[in-house]
Amino acid sequence: MKVKIRRALISVSDKEGIENFARALVEMGVELLSTGGTFAAIEAGGVAVTEVAEYTGFPEMMGGRVKTLHPKVHGGILALRDETEHTQAMAAHGIEGIDLVVVNLYPFEKTVAKPGVKRAAAIEEIDIGGPSMVRSAAKNHRFVGIVTEPTDYGRVLDEMQRKDSSIGEDLRRELACKAFALTARYDAAISRWMAEQEISDGKTCQAFPESFAVAGVKTLDLRYGENPHQQAAFYKTSATDEASVASAEVLNGKALSFNNLVDLDAAHALAKEFVEPFVAVTKHNNPCGAASAATIEEALEAAWAGDPLSAFGSVLAFTRPVNLACASFLVEGNRFVEAIIAPSFDTDAFALLTDKPRWGKNVRLLACGEYGPDSRRPLDIELKKLVGGFLLQGRDLAATGLENLNCVTQTRASDQEISALLFAERIAKHVKSNAIVLARGTRVLGVGAGQMSRVDAVRLAIHKAGDDVAGAVLASDAFFPFPDGVETAIAAGVGAILQPGGSMRDNLVIAACDQHKTAMVFTGERHFRH
Rounded Cα gap, residues 234 and 498, in angstroms:
38
Q: What is the pLDDT along the chain (530 residues), one digit of tens a residue?
A: 778 899 999 999 999 999 999 999 999 999 999 988 898 999 999 999 998 888 877 777 676 677 677 888 889 999 998 889 898 988 889 889 999 999 999 888 888 888 888 888 888 888 888 899 999 999 999 999 999 999 999 999 999 999 999 999 999 999 999 999 999 999 988 888 888 887 776 666 566 778 888 888 889 999 999 999 999 999 998 767 789 999 999 999 999 999 999 999 999 999 999 999 999 999 999 999 999 999 999 999 999 999 999 999 999 999 999 999 999 999 998 899 999 999 999 999 999 999 998 898 899 999 999 999 999 988 888 889 999 999 988 899 998 999 999 999 999 999 999 999 999 999 999 999 999 999 999 999 999 999 999 999 999 999 999 999 999 999 999 999 999 999 999 999 999 999 999 999 999 999 999 999 999 999 999 999 98
Rounded Cα gap, residues 334 and 488, in angstroms:
34
CA distances to 30, 266, 393, 484 from 263, in Å = 51, 5, 20, 32
8 A C-beta contact, residue 278 and residue 319: yes
pTM for the whole thing? 0.86
Rounded Cα gap, residues 263 and 281, in angstroms:
10
Instruction: From the candidates 15, 86, 236, 284, give the one annotated as an active-site residue.
Output: 284
Does 284 participate in catalysis according to the annotation? yes
Helix or strand run (H / E) with residue 363 = none
Helix or strand run (H / E) with residue 380 = none
8 A C-beta contact, residue 273 and residue 279: no
CA atoms within 13 A on the CB side of 462: 19
Segments in 257-364 forming alpha helices (H): 258-271, 296-305, 308-311, 324-331, 347-355
CATH fold match for the domains 3-193 and 402-522: no
| CATH code reported for the domain at 402-522 | 3.40.140.20
| CATH code reported for the domain at 3-193 | 3.40.50.1380
Rounded Cα gap, residues 366 and 317, in angstroms:
10
Q: φ, ψ for residue 300 (rounded to 5)?
A: -65, -50
Give the model confidence (pLDDT) of 499-525 as tens digits: 999 999 999 999 999 999 999 999 999
CA atoms within 13 A on the CB side of 506: 16
* The pLDDT of residue 204: 62
Rounded Cα gap, residues 79 and 202, in angstroms:
46
* Residue spans per domain, the chain: 3-193, 243-375, 402-522
- Smallest CA-to-CA distance from 497 within 513, 515, 482 is with 513
Does 74 participate in catalysis according to the annotation? no
Instruction: From the candidates 139, 163, 178, 516, give the one annotated as an active-site residue.
Output: 139
Q: Which fold has domain 243-375?
A: Cytidine Deaminase; domain 2 (3.40.140)
CA atoms within 13 A on the CB side of 217: 12
Longest Cα–Cα distance in the chain:
96
Segments in 213-312 forming alpha helices (H): 258-271, 296-305, 308-311
CA dihedral sign, ordered 454, 456, 457, 458? positive
